[in-house]
Structure 1
Amino acid sequence: MRIRPVATGVTAALMGLSTLVLSPSAAHAATDDHRTVVFAHRGASAYAPENTLASIDAAHRLGIDWVENDVQRTKDGELVILHDNSLARTTDVEQVFPDRAPWNVADFTLNEIEKLDAGSWFGQKFEGERVPTLEAYMDEVEHNGQKLLMELKSPELYPGIELQTLVELRRDGWLSKSHVKRRLVIQSFNADAIKTVHFFRSDVKTGFLGNPTVADLPKYAEYCDQINPNHNAVTRDYVSAVHGLKGPHGRALEVHTWTVDDGARAVKVAEMGVDGIITNKPDVVRDALAGASG
């Protein structure tokens, strides 16, 4: 895996990104129907170790189009897929590097992270599964014909990760017209990170993770296409308030909620009008929604 220093080629990257921005109308033609979309949280993470290639493939076998992941950066500037800031919970880093607590992603090189087992903690059958690079992850999503809800995880810890991620996506073909139009959303709990993504690539669909007050929603609508709250914060009135605003591309804001693994709860939030449900058990949620609509 080649190392890509964060600052290398930034000027050229900016020029390249700016020349590829699509018009809002082209990027956001009406492509979605009105059903509630199901997103596999960190892949189908109830059935395979989260944020691994195995979790993407598990979602694919279940027939789930959309997967969600988390992007962070290594000590030597590589982008990898991991949820926690620490490697401890989902790898054997404590055994391999016992003297490196608290085992933060940012304190390890890619070469060191690639030595770790990211599957055994979940089950013996996944022994040897690795923490994927963003490049490898995107290749697998592409191979499966899936779509990606990408979270920039703790971007405040990784200055410049927004642009770096966009450059990587472009290199891997994920900022093409067809991908941007139908297969990619970038979200974060960090509003400034989403503003930055929108600044560099205004055609890319973006989401804010959280539940801003109704009074603050118009500010988010300037650079967000989605407001994505925890399911406990979802009410019919809140969803209606979000839907009542248009985002930066002239379309009604969407609501995608997380993390719902119970079929009955999934049906309830769907009845409140949410556009998408993020879940560790995408088959359970899909089947519950299908049963309710049938």
Structure 2
Amino acid sequence: MHQHLARTVTAALFLGASAFVTMPAQAAPADPSSPTVFAHRGASTEAPENTLAAVRRAHEQHIKWIENDVQRTKDGALVVIHDATLSRTTDVEQVFPDRSPWRVADFTLAEIRRLDAGSWFAPRFRGERVPTLQEYLTLLDRDQQGLLLELKQPELYPGVEKQTVDALEKAGWLDQAHLAGRLVIQSFSADALRRTHELRPAVVTGFLGSPPVSRLKEYAAFADQINPDEKDVTYAYVQAVHSVDGPDGKPLRVNAWTVDDLTTAVRMAALGADGIITNRPDVIRNGVQ
């Protein structure tokens, strides 16, 4: 174990998570052997999730990777939002009171653009909008950030795998620079990942879940990563995943979600997780890197 990470683990075990709270926001350069930190829906404890504001805040925190969720509108636009309905994170119930259950797929992009996606989080974010995937990609490119893109409930949106891949290509995200270290597509749907891999084998893919060890080779035919709930992460499981090569001939990687406390983050690092997906990216980054 790298010396810095060993000190971090020891501190967590003997001093508890509070030992890290006072660390400065400007962290030292990342330890290359420590886990990659992914900002879950952006810096989503400090700005409304899956908005451009959350991406900008993560950039201010020097977070290099952003996780998001992609769904499709009634008129075929790809938008960045987690829930299949608009009610939790927008004012759709006030703007369109007669459109229950307010599914994303039942609204056009123009209608969704009318919604406030920020006031629910804090008054200062009033007027923040649900971004399109294109808007999201443009901002990430400007700041040279990587994207962990989740195909959200792809069974609701037939053909969304090809549409997403086509949108990424149009935005310039399927060139060597992006494919080599700035893009991962993940999903809870093995079928969606399989289709994505068949469409573009060079795109790194991650399966969200914890397949049994006996089936890891099956998943390795189309997934480069196994991304489990942190509750399912054990040393033996991580070692089993790492022992299997993915479609690119490299060992499968493990990104654990969703880890928001330092004690758990340090434990994930000690167990060998390659990445940590978190709503508190600055805090977790400062604790494990």
Deviation (angstroms), 1:48: 0.3
- The CA distance in 2 between the partners of 1:168 and 1:153, in whole Å, is 16
| 1:28 equivalent in structure 2 | none
- The CA distance in 1 between the partners of 2:179 and 2:230, in whole Å, is 27
| 1:282 equivalent in structure 2 | 281
* Secondary structure of 2:164's aligned partner: helix
| 1:179 equivalent in structure 2 | 178
| 1:250 equivalent in structure 2 | 249
| 1:29 equivalent in structure 2 | none
Deviation (angstroms), 1:215: 0.6
Deviation (angstroms), 1:245: 0.3
Give the letter aligned to residue 219 of structure 1: E
Deviation (angstroms), 1:211: 0.3
- The CA distance in 1 between the partners of 2:234 and 2:173, in whole Å, is 34
Give the letter aligned to residue 103 of structure 1: W
- The CA distance in 1 between the partners of 2:206 and 2:121, in whole Å, is 29
Give the letter aligned to residue 178 of structure 1: A
Query: Sequence identity of aligned pairs in percent?
Result: 59
- The CA distance in 2 between the partners of 1:264 and 1:285, in whole Å, is 9
- The CA distance in 2 between the partners of 1:252 and 1:271, in whole Å, is 18
* Secondary structure of 1:159's aligned partner: coil
Q: Which runs of 4+ in 1 moved over 4 A?
A: none
- The CA distance in 1 between the partners of 2:72 and 2:206, in whole Å, is 21
Give the letter aligned to residue 281 of structure 1: R
| 1:60 equivalent in structure 2 | 59
Q: Normalised by the size of structure 1, how large is the TM-score? A: 0.87
Deviation (angstroms), 1:35: 2.0
- The CA distance in 2 between the partners of 1:73 and 1:208, in whole Å, is 21
Deviation (angstroms), 1:34: 2.8
Deviation (angstroms), 1:33: 4.3
- The CA distance in 2 between the partners of 1:102 and 1:239, in whole Å, is 40
- The CA distance in 2 between the partners of 1:213 and 1:164, in whole Å, is 31
- The CA distance in 2 between the partners of 1:184 and 1:34, in whole Å, is 20
Give the letter aligned to residue 256 of structure 2: T
Computed over aligned residues only, the root mean square deviation of the Cα atoms, in angstroms, reads: 0.9
Deviations, residues 96-129 of structure 1 (Å, cap 9, x unaligned): 0001111000000000000000000000010000
| 2:87 equivalent in structure 1 | 88
- The CA distance in 2 between the partners of 1:45 and 1:243, in whole Å, is 30
Deviation (angstroms), 1:177: 1.0
Deviations, residues 135-189 of structure 1 (Å, cap 9, x unaligned): 0010011111100000000000000000000110000000011111110000000
| 1:136 equivalent in structure 2 | 135
Give the letter aligned to residue 232 of structure 1: K
Q: Any conservation in 1 of the 2:256–2:273 contact (CA below 8 Å)?
A: yes
| 2:50 equivalent in structure 1 | 51
Give the letter aligned to residue 278 of structure 2: T
| 1:235 equivalent in structure 2 | 234
1:259 paired to 2:266? no
Deviations, residues 195-226 of structure 1 (Å, cap 9, x unaligned): 01100100000000000001111100111000
Listed as ranges, the gaps of 5+ residues in structure 1 are 1-31
* Secondary structure of 2:68's aligned partner: strand
| 2:194 equivalent in structure 1 | 195
- The CA distance in 1 between the partners of 2:282 and 2:133, in whole Å, is 25
- The CA distance in 2 between the partners of 1:199 and 1:218, in whole Å, is 17
| 2:272 equivalent in structure 1 | 273
Q: Any conservation in 1 of the 2:69–2:149 contact (CA below 8 Å)?
A: yes
Q: Normalised by the size of structure 2, how large is the TM-score? A: 0.89
- The CA distance in 1 between the partners of 2:287 and 2:32, in whole Å, is 18
For residues 164-175 of structure 1, what are the structure 2 equivalents within 5 Å? 164-175=163-174
Listed as ranges, the gaps of 5+ residues in structure 2 are 1-30
- The CA distance in 1 between the partners of 2:50 and 2:129, in whole Å, is 10
- The CA distance in 2 between the partners of 1:201 and 1:112, in whole Å, is 32
- The CA distance in 2 between the partners of 1:79 and 1:216, in whole Å, is 32
Between the two proteins, the alignment pairs up a number of residues equal to 259
Deviation (angstroms), 1:287: 1.1
- The CA distance in 1 between the partners of 2:135 and 2:287, in whole Å, is 32
- The CA distance in 1 between the partners of 2:157 and 2:96, in whole Å, is 23
For residues 201-216 of structure 1, what are the structure 2 equivalents within 5 Å? 201-216=200-215
Give the letter aligned to residue 246 of structure 1: D
| 1:110 equivalent in structure 2 | 109
| 1:11 equivalent in structure 2 | none
